[in-house]
Amino acid sequence: MPGPAGLDKVYSAVEETARLLGVPCSPDQVSPALNVFGDELPDSHIVFSMAAGERHRGEVDFDFSLSPDGADPYATALANGLIEGTDHPVGSLLAEIQARCAIASYGVEYGIVGGFKKSYAFFPLDDFPPLAKFAGIPSMPPGLAEHVGMLTRLGLDDTVSTIGINYPKRTLNVYFAVTAVETETKLALLRAFGFPEPDARVTEFIKRSFSVYPTFNWDSSAVERICFSVKTQNPGELPAPFHPEIEEFASGVPHAYEGGREFVSAVALAPSGEAYYKLAAYYQKARGASNAAFAADRDDSAS
């Protein structure tokens, strides 16, 4: 297929993953990402991710890490026509974060159908920026600043590992590293944002979560969703019926490393009590400090 040399295997893996989920895939859909970012992909973490349920059917995401040394991924996508520019604050946020915070690596979420969707900024594992720094960034959703006091009281001030910016949806994910956080604090976060108490199965999943991320937007101080993620080699442990598409994905998704497949499973909760379930599978795991944060904190896509 057209694109940088040596990426045929990556494209084949994308195509195979899309086929598992019945998602149409052609070189024309994938080559824009490979042409623009392909030089870095041999040294990247590459993840395939999907969300279960009718509302999310028909898409699979191809996610990958990038070095912090070049332009940020949004600027690169903009310069190469992968996304249109906007006057909305979502378009300036990543550059403002880069100017104020050390970045360990970047990431991209690229939908096989939807194209360039999200940029990620992963922070050094020993240098997570304080929440107050994010709240002071001009293009940050104002709802985050409104909740800084509450998040700080819960002990989450210095646990922000990653920021994810969704351009089509104009939303922001703030990823908190919570491996060492008590389950009661995780549940208190749900209550503080006005979410209902989860059932016993979801609570047990939350207990094991290594990352939690609320979804903010620029139009309201309310949080749209809160997602909890668990690393696993057994995606059947999701606290939900094992949807057929999850089973197809989990049993057939390709991987390019020794041993069994490795996954991050996730449950996304809404204030209404509705939940949906997501699964990300590592295709390629690269070594190197620039990718350490991506390996530790990448969890999914569909927020």
Q: Tell me the C-alpha distance between 290 and 300, whole Å.
A: 19
Q: What's the whole-model pTM score? A: 0.93
3 vs 187, residue with greater confidence: 187
Specify the pLDDT at position 56.
79
> What's the chain's average pLDDT?
91
Domain ranges of the chain: 8-297
Banded model confidence at residue 53, pLDDT cuts 50, 70, 90: confident
Query: Per-residue pLDDT for 293 more than 70?
Result: no
pLDDT at 240: 66
User: Tens digits of per-residue pLDDT, 272-290?
Assistant: 999 989 999 999 997 654 4
pLDDT in tens, 155-211: 999 999 999 999 999 999 999 999 999 999 999 999 999 999 999 999 999 999 999
**pLDDT attached to residue 6:** 65
Question: Is the model's pLDDT at 97 over the cut of 70?
Answer: yes
State the pLDDT confidence band at 236, using cuts at 50, 70 and 90.
confident
pLDDT band at residue 300 under the 50/70/90 scheme: very low
For range 139-158, the mean pLDDT: 96
Interval 240-277: pLDDT, tens: 666 788 888 999 999 999 999 999 999 999 999 999 89
Record the tokens describing residue 281, joined without a space: 């599978």
Q: Which pLDDT score, from 0 to 100, does residue 253 have? A: 97
**Residue 302 confidence (pLDDT):** 42
d(CA 265, CA 159): 20
Please state the φ and ψ torsions of residue 252, each to the nearest 5 degrees. Answer: -120, -10
Q: What is the pLDDT of residue 281?
A: 96
